[in-house]
Structure 1
Amino acid sequence: MDESIKDEILQAAKEEFLTFGYQEASMRNIASKAKLTTGSLYYRFIDKAELFDAIVGQDASNLLNMFIQAQENFATFSVMKQIKEMESYTHFKMKEMIDYIYNHFDSFQLIICKSNGSKYEYFIDSMVDIEVKNTKRFIQDLKKKNIPVHDVDDNLNHILCTSLFRAIFEVVVHQMQKKEAIEYIDKVYRFYEVGWMELLGVKF
């Protein structure tokens, strides 16, 4: 595909998705904005799912992989190092993720705010599932080292992780400036940190 034509299509599609969302976006409108016939657009992209994926897919995958890598790396630390460095490590990795989100802000506006009906509708849930799994792993690691820790049932774990990530992505929903977003997320994280210390009976 001619790269200049592809760029025009993707720009037209991004504008359409940002304006109308995935469900209400029209391939006909996208073709018109890109100065193509509808048939010519369908020749290049099978449907709007493929178009949406072409716009946000790489950015979604990169952020998810950043998060997975951060969790996997943290899990290699000794239990005492995990406790000692929980706060500083989390702040550092959260800053990296915020940098990435703000460097690709349009993509994350589409993913978080405009993806209903697409496979990206449950993007936040994917991150929640990873957080839930690693929270359980952390609690089990503490127990293996005979460090006193309170149990947290699966439902509560999932509810807390869900509320945390939905709070984090509110910076995208509200289109906060990056500086404001960093300050907001720092406060959100400190709020949850204190709560988790109380629930687990462990001081980070």
Structure 2
Amino acid sequence: MANKDHSLDDKIIRAAYSEFLAYGFCKASLHKISEKAGVTTGAIYTRYKNKDALFVALLQDFFEAMKVMFAPVAKEYEKAMFSAKTEDILSAINSEEKIYFELLASHYDDCTLFFSRSDGSSVETMLNDLMEQKTQQTVDFFFRVYGKKPNADAIRLIMGSQFWNFRQLLDKRPDEDRMFACLRSILDFTNAGWRQLCLTLK
């Protein structure tokens, strides 16, 4: 068996980013990716089982970056859980939001693929699973703090709206200043809502 030509890997990755960013997972074409990369479709299939595997591979470094960046937030929530102070809870929530802002700034194209170009791929399932996981974690957190569970359906909608906000912004691809100004305004509204939830559960 001939050795795989690794010099083609970067060309395929660059072409795949371009195609998926422009058309999304469903409408992207492996044939067009191969044309942009100057390779055969066979060269792609020797590296990736199918289009979904290629799409997932593009985001592996992003997924690892997310794990590293979000890890410190657990300590913030732990502190808030033990203090049960509204300000500590809001501080933990804002710390998490700041990391999303950092991700959008440092991994803009990856965020675009993840939040707004993944429909129809296994990454869409990952995104839905993440939203469900965040919902359950939030419900459990408030139960541990106050001994009462917030409305899980409402929390699910709140989590979904957050991801939908990212999707809408990334679809429009505004400049960074405009995007963050918008997100900060949204955060002001959601902070008021979280504060009210804390008061309701006390």
What's the TM-score once normalised by structure 1's chain length?
0.81
Q: Which amino acid aligns with 2:89?
A: M
Q: Which amino acid aligns with 2:74?
A: E
Gaps (5+ residues) in structure 2? Answer: none
Task: Measure how far apart 1:185 and its partner are.
Answer: 1.7
Task: Measure how far apart 1:10 and its partner are.
Answer: 0.7
RMSD (Å), alpha carbons: 2.7
Whole-angstrom distance in 1 between the partners of 2:93 and 2:64: 20
Once the two structures are superposed, the pairs formed by residues 3-22 of structure 1 within 5 Å of their partners are: 3-22=6-25
Task: Measure how far apart 1:6 and its partner are.
Answer: 0.4
> Tell me, what secondary structure is at the counterpart of 2:7?
helix
Greater than 6 Å deviation, 4+ residue runs: none
Whole-angstrom distance in 2 between the partners of 1:173 and 1:132: 24
CA contact (8 A) 2:134 2:159 kept: yes
CA-to-aligned-CA distance 1:40-68 (integer Å, 9 cap, x gap): 2222222111211121232134325634x
Closer/same/farther in 2, CA of residues 168 and 44 from structure 1, 3 Å limit: closer
Match of 1:75 in 2: 77
Once the two structures are superposed, the pairs formed by residues 37-56 of structure 1 within 5 Å of their partners are: 37-56=40-59
Identity of aligned residues (%): 22
Whole-angstrom distance in 2 between the partners of 1:141 and 1:117: 36
> Tell me, what secondary structure is at the counterpart of 2:59?
helix
Whole-angstrom distance in 2 between the partners of 1:174 and 1:187: 17
Q: Does 1:86 align with 2:89?
A: yes
Match of 2:175 in 1: 177
Match of 2:190 in 1: 192
CA contact (8 A) 2:86 2:198 kept: no
Once the two structures are superposed, the pairs formed by residues 115-194 of structure 1 within 5 Å of their partners are: 115-144=118-147, 151-194=149-192
CA contact (8 A) 1:59 1:104 kept: yes
Task: Measure how far apart 1:114 and its partner are.
Answer: 1.6
- State the aligned residue count: 198
Whole-angstrom distance in 1 between the partners of 2:122 and 2:135: 21
What's the TM-score once normalised by structure 2's chain length?
0.82
Match of 2:105 in 1: 102
